[in-house]
Structure 1
């Protein structure tokens, strides 16, 4: 009886071992990809560092504060880039892309257009920088990158401590103050509000909850 069962047990053990090895390979590949994406964004951040020329430009009077980052250098590197989004005290500090003819081009591509699980935050294809409502999309990544930190806005203490959102473009810096946090889904009317009635608003959108249609919207008014 024991002899007859022994091959079955051996096969079962081999199967478990193979599954464990495969899981290990997948985890290693995922971690390696995450590390590469972080290195890629670090390289993009280097491109955006202010230069001596940019510093001189910042001293000139303008209607809005000059950009702290070298947005022109980013645009020269990739003309799909329109600016840089950041929120102090969070991990959110990324370039923003805009491709109206292919709205979701950077959903799964990095700054250079190569495949990326995280993608790059991008402006809604129906919007432009003159729109009174600016809708920017970004993934809610489990590793804490992209728009993952936005989910913390459901906590009042975090909201009160991180109300200012900064959006830098070639024209300068625009500051927005978070006024509303919505746990909703893809059918929310906010996704069709391309024009605001009273002031320019920035809407940050990311996945939220266990359902594929769940969304979190962070709505901020320009100050």
Structure 2
């Protein structure tokens, strides 16, 4: 009986040790998961090192030399996009396919938050009648997380403008609509068809389907930029904010 009791106690101690070890491993894994999630979300915001390449905002004939410097690091860089009063303040890249920068940052390194990227079908100089730009929906508002906020009427009314900086020019963005759509919506995501047929049908569709809309006098001669991200609740749901691109120098000359 004594030997059996000792064996039982040893077995209990072993079981207790294994249980404590499993608890410790679960704690370590949980702590790592929290740290990893924090790192992903923190890394989704633009870093101070990257901000040094953001154009100053002065529209001059010299263009935006800091953006040209960033292009020397990654030739896929096309622009810098800012939407006033939001976290949207990032360089824009363009890959050979629309999947290339889903999990790569602006430097080309692996990043779960990816990069802000324009559609591979679009002209790199934003000269198309319709250009579409994509970004992940991050819950902390990073990347294109703030795009979904435009479904709210008050937020939409309070955020009306942005700026698109190219290496040799600068454009103002006047936001005019927010649409909730499906990822397979051909009216919005068949970019080549829209640019081939003209933007008239797209403009009509946007006005009909818009969750929020303001009339800024859009015509088929205007250039459209769309900012697309995933919706919060639906797997294939998308939210797209649309704006008009206007060259800054033309605006200044017109107001002179």
Category of TM-score, reference length = shorter chain:
0.7 to 0.9
Deviation at 1:25, TM superposition (A): 1.3
Task: Quote the Cα distance in structure 1 between the aligned partners of 2:44 and 2:155.
Answer: 27
Question: Contact between 2:68 and 2:167, CA under 8 Å: does it hold in 1?
Answer: yes
SS in 2 for 1:47: coil
Contact 1:48 1:73 in 2 (8 A): no
Note if 1:28 corresponds to 2:35: yes
CA distance in 2, matches of 1:169, 1:71: 7
Who wins on radius of gyration, i.e. which is larger?
A: 2
Give the drift of 1:26: 1.6
Deviations 1:84-120 (A, max 9, x none): 0001111110000012x23321111111111011111
User: Equivalents in 2 of 1:145, 1:25: separation in Å?
Assistant: 21
Question: What do the CA deviations read for 1:109-139 (whole angstroms, capped 9, x no partner)?
Answer: 1111110111111110111122110100000
1:80 deviates by 0.4
Kindly tell me: are residues 214 and 169 of structure 1, through their superposed partners in 2, closer, same or farther at Cα, counting changes over 3 Å?
same
Q: 1:136 to 1:49 in 2, by over 3 A?
A: closer
Distance 1:210 1:36, change over 3 A: closer
Flag the 1:215–1:67 CA change in 2: closer, same or farther, 3 A. Answer: farther
Q: Which residue of 2 aligns with 1:82?
A: 78
Spell out, residue by residue over 1:129-188, the C-alpha distance to the aligned partner (whole angstroms, 9 max, x if none): 221101000001123210001111011111111111221112322122222211121011
Unaligned runs of 5+ in 2: 1-8, 201-219, 247-256
Q: Secondary structure at the match of 1:209?
A: coil
Selected match of 2:121 from 123, 126, 129: 126
- 8 Å contact 1:132–1:200 — kept in the other structure? yes
Q: State the match for 1:63 in structure 2.
A: none
Q: 1:36 to 1:206 in 2, by over 3 A?
A: closer
Aligned to 1:173, which of 170, 182, 185? Answer: 170
Cα RMSD for the two superposed structures: 2.8
Task: Please identify runs of 4+ aligned residues in structure 1 that moved more than 6 A.
Answer: 3-10
Q: Is the aligned partner of 1:202 residue 2:197?
A: no
Report the equivalent of 2:234: 211
The runs of 5 or more residues in structure 1 that have no matched partner are: 61-65
Out of 82, 103, 109, the residue aligned to residue 104 of structure 2 is: 109
Number of aligned residues? 210
Please give the TM-score of this superposition, normalised by the length of structure 1: 0.81
Q: TM-score, normalised by structure 2?
A: 0.72
- SS for the counterpart of 1:158 is helix
